Structure 1
């Protein structure tokens, strides 16, 4: 997810954000600070605000969500842009998550715990590239989320590319399991078969 890291409030911008605590914000702050922009994330105690997204980002999310819903068993739920609590100083918001159905508590739910999530998906934006490639997958793996997908727009014809990863339970790091250009066909966390060609994306 795209975003801009805000370390300190700025009087010049006219924004009046509270002064960050000495040790940074916590997940509790993320849900209690007034007037935070929608989809604000928390990484290492710092707030990350969402930047405007490319059409590729929203269309790719729609394409994947539609495909994931098509074969999702009743034991899983496909969720968009929901906070996942990794620890007290980290509450990222994956673009898409697959969570265990027993973790659902109602339509007013605002977060999931890391142990509820079986797959986290990030669609890379220009300003979030470093976080999506490094910071967030490291944190997802350390928290024990079994599967991770990284979605990017290829240079040239701008077709989608999906890299799939699976956790090594010993090292708590992700290992690449596939690079998908036209068809996303995997068997975990359940049987998934999605047309990710540029034509499918443009048809939305």
Structure 2
């Protein structure tokens, strides 16, 4: 079997599926490669703030989830029928150890950190897809103007309904699918770097 290569993206003439992407494309630590309705979506790594929040939130959520028998992963491959999603945070009721991908039926909560260039995807499209797959909870973190906000939604009659939300300087508290509390401001934990210094 030929080595996996991203060159196949320019040669393949048929629609993509989650299985085809996992079989044909190489593993990588760079762009996120997802599949939606037969198309491959390639997303570059997010800004530093986004990566910091993903790390901090993931660490804290993991401490709260593990005693409840749940597993947390960053950017794990999640298969939903023929689609392939890579949520920023995935809390699963089954360990992903030794697996390349997890079926979305094992997801208890999927979370997205809103990217400035992909606000529609993170705020509208992605939760709609997760709701259609009957994922019980959706968590969204928004970093607009470097003021973190967190919102938790629960699936009710096929749609996500808000159950908890907080902005930096207040307390975000959730009770389900496990207890967790944080001031969203703690997710960044540092002052903004002047633009000139950050781009030099």
- From 16, 25, 46, the equivalent of 1:34 is 25
**1:130-177 CA distances to partner (integer Å, 9 max, x unpaired)?**
11112111110010100001111133xx22011211101x3x111122
Distance 1:61 1:124, change over 3 A: same
**Distance in 1 between residues matched to 2:28 and 2:56, nearest whole Å:** 25
Distance 1:194 1:67, change over 3 A: farther
Partner residue in 1 for 2:86: 93
TM-score (norm 1): 0.80
Structure 1 residue 127: deviation in Å? 2.1
**Distance in 1 between residues matched to 2:79 and 2:96, nearest whole Å:** 15
5+ unaligned residues in a row in structure 1: which ranges? 1-14
Q: Which has the higher contact order (CA 8 A, sep 6+)?
A: 1
Partner residue in 1 for 2:73: 79
Structure 1 residue 119: deviation in Å? 0.3
Structure 1 residue 48: deviation in Å? 1.4
Partner residue in 1 for 2:188: 201
Pairing 1:142–2:132 present = yes
**Distance in 2 between residues matched to 1:130 and 1:179, nearest whole Å:** 19
**Distance in 1 between residues matched to 2:26 and 2:104, nearest whole Å:** 25
Moved more, 184-193 or 70-79: 70-79
Partner residue in 2 for 1:173: 159
Let me know the Cα RMSD of the aligned residues: 2.2
Pairing 1:65–2:53 present = no
Q: How many residues were matched structurally?
A: 181
